[in-house]
Each structure stands twice: as structure tokens, then as C-alpha cells.
Amino acid sequence: MNNDLTIVIQGLFSQDSASRIEQYRKLTNNIVYSTWKHPSLKELPDYVKVVSHDLCDKGNCYCCNMRMQNLIQDSTIAWAVSTTRAGIREVETEYTIKVRADEYYNLEPFVEKMMENKDKVLFGNIFVRQFKDQPYHMGDHVFGGKTKFFATAYENIFDDAHNYSPNHFDQFCYNYMRHPTYGSWPAESMLACNIMKAMGLEITKENFAKAFEVIDINLMTPFMARWCHDHKVYTDKFDLHRNIFSVEDMVND
């Protein structure tokens, strides 16, 4: 058990993650469930720190602000940022693993690999992309590393959206959203770049390779992962990894 680690479960409440909490507790006593208000939250064990709030405040919330600025269109990034940020704010340990509430994983292999290089951010290879297809496209379904990097990154994303202008919303990401080749700047790339900035790194391919590492989620059975936009569920077998099993597979042409 590693009590210098917190597992943050974020997103809409789901029995899928709630049923795995006892398994997560074998790894650490520190578990945060960051979600929207739901009647079943009272069923969670007492040792789970629950963070919940209303889904929307009549158009005057962070999520609606991002949508009104046309930053996210039909993406769920605003809701993911909101719950992840709220959960990480409750973390008091040096290390954090973030998982989605509608998924579950065997995190033992993840923790073992993460602790092999504590200065890197580790993420699962679910929906990752090679640089030639989409630069900096990390996996954001399950990732872990030093809490301070995530805390800074999510505060910056949150603050930028609230103070949006073409010259303020993370100028690097804003410019890339209008890149003639890549067309749009996905949430995963925006997150990766903000994590690198939180690490004090210039945003380059070389620094990405130094800052991040990848784990194949097929090593994390039993697991259940989702592709919500395509209504697909992956149970103990994930085949959309694009043959990416390491950070080198992402950055090498």
C-alpha cells in the first residue's frame, strides 16, 4: 500500500467505478470521488472523500462558458476539466492517479510502472495518437504522476477558459486550434501541453518524450474502458491503441 498516493475518480457517478473502490483501496487509503450530485453517492464507503456539485448553474458555470466561447463544440472536455480539477484540489499526497468514473482498471501494474520513474507522467494507451497524426495527444482516461503538475495544469486550463480571449486561452493551444494541417486542438493535447508547462518545460516533441511514458492498458486487466461517442465498451481487450505501447512509438516517425 502506498499512502503517498491518491486515486481520483472523476466524472458522472457510475456503479462501474463504485464497485471497484475496494480494489483501489488495496493500493492506497486515499480515494477521492469527484462528480456531480447523485443520490447514490451516499452509498459510497465512509473512507472515500466525495466532491460533488450541481451539473450546471443556469448557463453561468465553467462548462457553459467554454461552450459559449465555441471552444469545445460537442466535446465533454469542460465537464472533465471541472470534475478533475475539483478532485485534485482535495489531494494531499505527492502522487495522483486519475481514472474515469465510468471505467475501471487493475491499477497495480500502473502504480508499479509509475513508481519506476517518479518524475514522469504515465498514461494509458487508450486513444493515443502518433505525433505525425496529432502532436502531444496523450491518453487522458487513466494517467498518473506528481500531483503538483496536475494541479497547476488544471488550474491554468480552468482560469484560461474563464478569461478567454484570442490572446489569452493558452496562446500555444489557441494557435494550434487553427493549424492548417491539424485543424483543431483536442483536449488530450491541450492537457499534455499544460502539464509540460507545469513542469517548466518548453513544449517540444523532445521534451514530451522526456516528460511522459505510456502503459498498455491490456496489461491492466481486469479493466473496462469506454468510447462514449461511439457507444463502445472494451472489457479486458483494447485494440484501438494504434500500435503505440511506449512514448517512443508516439514520437518516432
pLDDT tens digits along 86-112: 999 999 999 999 999 999 999 999 999
Rounded distance between C-alpha atoms, residue 118 and residue 69, angstroms: 37
**Joined grid coordinates for residue 165:** 480571449
**Residue 150: is it exposed, middle or buried by C-beta count within 10 angstroms (0-12/13-18/19+)?**
buried
Q: What is the pLDDT of residues 70-85, one digit of tens each?
A: 444 455 666 788 889 9
Q: What is the pLDDT of residues 180-197, one digit of tens each?
A: 444 456 778 888 988 999
**Residue 65: is it exposed, middle or buried by C-beta count within 10 angstroms (0-12/13-18/19+)?**
middle
So what's the pLDDT on residue 183? 46
Q: How do strand 30-36 and strand 5-10 relate by DSSP bridges?
A: parallel
- Give me the CATH number covering residue 29: 3.90.550
For cell 475539483, what's the residue?
86
Strand spans (E) along 71-141: 95-100, 121-124
Domain count, the chain: 1
At residue 57, what is the residue type?
A: D
Is the pTM above the cut of 0.85? yes
Rounded distance between C-alpha atoms, residue 236 and residue 253, angstroms: 29
Of the candidates 146, 137, 154, 152, which has an alpha carbon nearest to the alpha carbon of residue 214?
Answer: 137
Print the domain residue range for 132: 5-251
So what's the pLDDT on residue 185? 66
